[in-house]
Structure 1
Amino acid sequence: MWKQTAGVLLAATLGVGAAWLASDLINPGQPANQAVLPLPAGGDFTLQSVNGPASLADFRGKVVVLYFGYTACPDICPTSMATLKAALAQLAPAEVQQVQGLFVSVDPERDTLEHIQRYVNYFHPNMTGLSGTQPELQKITRRYGAFYRKVEVPGSAMAYTIDHSAILYVIDREGQVREQVQHAVPPAELAAAIRRWL
């Protein structure tokens, strides 16, 4: 019996070791205890900004940090934007000029384009606010592996909130998604992810 138990433990240990090694080979430098998310297809899209239609392709040649949220979000979105702001503060001025932030509001019912732009300008001038129709937003979020849903809150002054994913997508100069960064990481981690693709 003890031989069987020892064999099972050895197999489990080797399996964990192999998984750790494979993770390190596929994602060099990734902390062993941090989950690695599969990269979504992503791709170009066009939405509306306060200055008219804007496409991801308009920012070709820059590293783009893309985020899906909404301006009335009580905590996750402000935390994400503050993380991006702090990450950009860790880059040299010449590096910052090569980075573009895009905040896509998934709450077009409440978020006007003017309000979205005021919101993102509070965090950093290198940010553009975007939104669109619900069919457009649903199509784009699916391609980026993001999600959101409206949640009614009866009796609340806000009437509803929006549950949504909280990922910062780092997109390279050619428009390809290269990294997904959780919203609550230390700013240094996001700065390093951006710098890898400058």
Structure 2
Amino acid sequence: MTKNPGRWVLLAGVLALAGILALYFYNSTIPIGEKPRQLKDLGGDFSLNSADGTANLDQHQGQVVVLYFGFLNCAEVCPSSMGVMSAAFKQVDQQYYDDIQGFFVSVDPGRDDLNSLKDFAQYFDPRMLGVTGTEEEIKQLTQQYGVYFDLVNMESSELAYTVDHASRFYIINQQGQLVDSMSHSTTPIELAARIERELRK
């Protein structure tokens, strides 16, 4: 058998590029080609729908809010990230139990109904709220927070499409200001420490 080291080098390069792109999509807050935006230029109030009525950021003044953007057909990344949020909430000093609010924001309103979003969020923690809005509202909110997502056709799958999206935790302080954006690789201990730091200010 003739050895072809060049082919293996090329294959390794392709795999490395695929890995880099995957990390980019899960960690980026901007689409490829766009200039990065500073944290101070992101965030702000929003109004979305939940199974229990309208939900907006102003309702949670005085609480530290953690936003996570995802979708219910997300098989691995979204559930594992919600698990990190859940574990982090439990690690924060219990004196702050009522001072924390989590949001799971669906970027797939065409498929994610409000009752299913509520069940999904509440499965992880009673302080988590499942919300979404119209396509236009979600587009506006993701631009507002610098969140990357894209609908990708899946012709060979039972699902018509999937969603590529940034997987990050967005930390909003008690005054409603976005103060941090943490990678999906953040541990529960790190996320809990970041939340508690805001609560102690």
What TM-score comes out, normalization by structure 1 length? Answer: 0.79
Match of 1:27 in 2: none
Match of 2:45 in 1: 44
Structure 1 position 73 matched with structure 2 position 74: yes
CA shift for structure 1 position 185 = 1.3
Match of 2:126 in 1: 125
In 2, distance between residues paired with 1:75 and 1:180?
20
Match of 2:174 in 1: 173
One-letter amino acid of the counterpart of residue 197, structure 2 = R
Match of 1:83 in 2: 84
Q: Is the 8 A contact 2:92 2:193 kept in 1?
A: no
After TM superposition, list the pairs within 5 Å mapping 1:11-22 onto structure 2. Answer: none
- Flag as ranges the 4+ runs of structure 1 deviating above 2 A: none
Match of 2:8 in 1: none
In 2, distance between residues paired with 1:68 and 1:186?
17
Match of 1:192 in 2: 193
Structure 1 position 150 matched with structure 2 position 151: yes
In 2, distance between residues paired with 1:83 and 1:96?
17
CA shift for structure 1 position 38 = 3.5
CA shift for structure 1 position 96 = 2.4
Q: Is the 8 A contact 1:79 1:184 kept in 2?
A: no
CA shift for structure 1 position 167 = 1.1
One-letter amino acid of the counterpart of residue 195, structure 1 = E
SS at 1:64 equivalent:
strand
Which piece of structure 1 moves more, 89-98 or 171-180? 89-98
Q: Is the 8 A contact 1:103 1:130 kept in 2?
A: yes
SS at 2:96 equivalent:
helix
What TM-score comes out, normalization by structure 2 length? Answer: 0.78
In 2, distance between residues paired with 1:157 and 1:86?
33
Q: Which runs of 5+ in 2 are unaligned?
A: 1-36
In 1, distance between residues paired with 2:114 and 2:89?
24
Match of 1:22 in 2: none
CA shift for structure 1 position 79 = 1.5
Q: Which has the larger radius of gyration?
A: 1
Match of 1:160 in 2: 161
SS at 1:197 equivalent:
helix
Q: Is the 8 A contact 2:155 2:161 kept in 1?
A: yes
Q: Is the 8 A contact 1:83 1:184 kept in 2?
A: no
Q: Which runs of 5+ in 1 are unaligned?
A: 1-36
CA shift for structure 1 position 152 = 0.8
In 1, distance between residues paired with 2:113 and 2:75?
18
Q: Is the 8 A contact 1:64 1:100 kept in 2?
A: yes
Q: How many aligned residue pairs are there?
A: 162
Structure 1 position 141 matched with structure 2 position 142: yes
In 2, distance between residues paired with 1:188 and 1:157?
38
